[in-house]
Every structure is written in C-alpha cells, then in structure tokens.
Amino acid sequence: MPVIPASSRPIRLAFAGFRHAHIFDLYKRASAHPAIEVVGTWENDVTASLLPAQGMSPSHASYEALLADCDAVAIGDCYGRRGQLALRALRAGKHVISDKPLCTSLNELEEIASLALRKGLRIGVMLDLRDHGNLIALRDVVASGRIGEVQTVSFAAQHPLLYGKRPSWYFEPVLHGGTLNDIAIHALDFIPWVTGLAIAGTTAARTWNAKTSAAPHFKDCGQLLLQLSNGGGVLGDVSYLAPDRCGYMTDNYWRITIHGIRGYAETSYNRAGVTVADDDSPEPELLPSAAGRPGGYLDDFLAEVAGEPRKGGLNTHSCLLASRQALDLELAAQPS
C-alpha cells in the first residue's frame, strides 16, 4: 500500500516530457496514488515523444502554464534537457521529481542544489533499485554482520543497446550525457544504502565506443573503480553489451557481489533471492528475497515534501549526492 503523508490536500503533480519509457512508471503510480492529484502534462514536441504510442496528448500548451497549475513537476524529457526544466520549476517554487539522470552538467546540478536549499524545495529521482526485494534482502544480510565488514563490491549492469528501438535522441550529441551518468547513478545510490559505507572517491573510470558504429561519439561501454569510506573498493561495468532480445533477463542485469572479511553475499535483479556464505558455511545458502517496495522512490519523495522524511529513504540530499558522483565519473572518464 502507498504511504500517505499527513497533508491537508493531495499534492498537485504535473508531468513535463515523455521521452523515456521510465516516466510512465511514475505517471501510472502517481495517477493511482491517494496523496497525488495529477494536474497536467506538457511536451515540447509531441510527435517526437512517447505520448502518441500511449494514446495520450498533452493537456497544457506551454511549460509556464503547466508550472502555474502545480506544486511539483515530474520530468521525463531527454537527459540533456532535464536540468533546465528542473531549474525553471525550482525558480517557480515547485518541487521536482525526475527520471534518472536529473541532469547532464555539474553546473546545472550545483544551481539545482542551491535553488532547492534556498527555497526549501525537495528533489526526488527515480532510483528504484533500492525498492527491489533482492536489494533489500542483500542490505539485511550486510547489516546482520554475517559476512563481516565489507571490503569489495562488484556489480555488472549490462544493458541491451537496442539501437533502432531506443529513442533516437539517445545517440545524438549532447542529449544523452554519458553512459556512466545514465546507469552508474543507480549503483552510486544503492551501494552506500546497502553497505552503510560512503563512496569516498573515484580511482578510475573509462568509457568507449564498441558497438554503436553508426554513432561513434556514443560511448556504449563504461567501467569504473571506486573507493569506499573504509578503504574498500568497488568495481563496476555498465556497458550496453547485453544481447538485445533477452538482455534484461540475464544474470548480469544488475548483479551485485559483496565480499566482507567473513564471507560474501550476491544477488541480481533476476534471481530468486540472495546467495550467502560465511567462513563457517559448508556450502552457499540461498536466502529468500525480502518484500519489495514498488514505487518506494515516490513515497519517499512525498514523505519529504510533507516534512516527514522516511528514515533510510531517498531524500533530496541522497539524490543530489548520487547525481553529483555520477557526473564526476563522467568527467573522470574524459580523455585528459
């Protein structure tokens, strides 16, 4: 059941941009949420958007008109346009919740953070992996102390490229903003949440073009090496090399392995639970998945807007921090 923060009336939420399918998850959840009134939609270019395929059309002719009718804006435009839409909303005194990534430039992010702080506004991002039952169960294992202090985290987040099926803006200069910023932001959010350890810095990051010969500027492969606050390390791969037809079904679609000083725990998006073994285990053990929190990212945003932030939930600080670290990774991957 959705969380209903104490409030005198539902929050009036408007939607700006429908260029990525992710935004429809938020739209459907918001439309059914008892604490939300969806008051409108806007698109800069309807024919280039995903609205027609959903049998939808925008309710407002301009972004300014949309902003006049709402308390908060949900943003799902091309990645490269999201930062400016967020800034315009914040300047108008509106809270912002966005598909990830929130923006593609550190300058935009710094202004977003400054405006949100100065105006007392909240920022949410659709970082929904921490709502998955396997990630919740993985966090519980780490918190139990069974595998000891975490020393290494490795993750694979291979995605299918789907060239020709993904929106064409993905492969246009400027509009995408980088594979690390696009995908690794999830890991930058859930790793501290799962392990209790902050990301202390970037040791190395690299992106390159391997598969998208028709768009040689598009870096479809990305790898990274990070340091944890206790001196441990993170190794990750966020490349678009998964097979097109079944890429979202493979074990390497968000596979996370954590080694502590007494054992390890591993899961993936598509597994039926979490595999665990410690120094005393005669063999690895499969623990069941925990209950998931579908739409938890939205409930966390609503709770913070209502002044009742959920302990351990997503909040403005964690969303901005993961966004900043993802953009830092992109900069680290640039040729010197």
Task: Note the pLDDT tens digit of each residue in 60-100.
Answer: 999 999 999 999 999 999 999 999 999 999 999 999 999 99
**Residue 278 — φ and ψ, nearest 5°?**
-120, -175
CA–CA separation, 141 and 60 (whole Å): 48
Q: Give buried/exposed letters for 7-43 (b at 16+ CB in 10 A, else e).
A: eeebbebbbbbbbbeebbbbbebbeebebbbbbbbbb
Which part of the chain has CATH 3.40.50.720? 11-128+296-314
CA–CA separation, 63 and 44 (whole Å): 8
Provide the CATH number for the domain formed by 11-128+296-314 in this structure: 3.40.50.720
Radius of gyration of the chain (CA): 20
Q: What is the pTM of this model?
A: 0.95
Tokens of 242: 């998964």
Contacts of 222 (CB under 8 A, 6+ apart): 178, 179, 180, 183, 184, 205, 206, 207, 237, 238, 239, 333
Choose which CATH entry (3.40.50.300, 3.40.50.2000, 3.30.360.10, 3.30.310.50) describes domain 133-291.
3.30.360.10
Which part of the chain has CATH 3.30.360.10? 133-291
Which residues of the chain, if any, have pLDDT below 70? 1-8
Mean pLDDT of the chain: 96
Contact 188, 318 (CB under 8 A): no
Q: Shortest CA distance to 83 belongs to which of 101, 67, 100, 103? A: 103
Summarised one tens digit per residue, pLDDT across range 135-183 is: 999 999 999 999 999 999 999 999 999 999 999 999 998 999 999 999 9
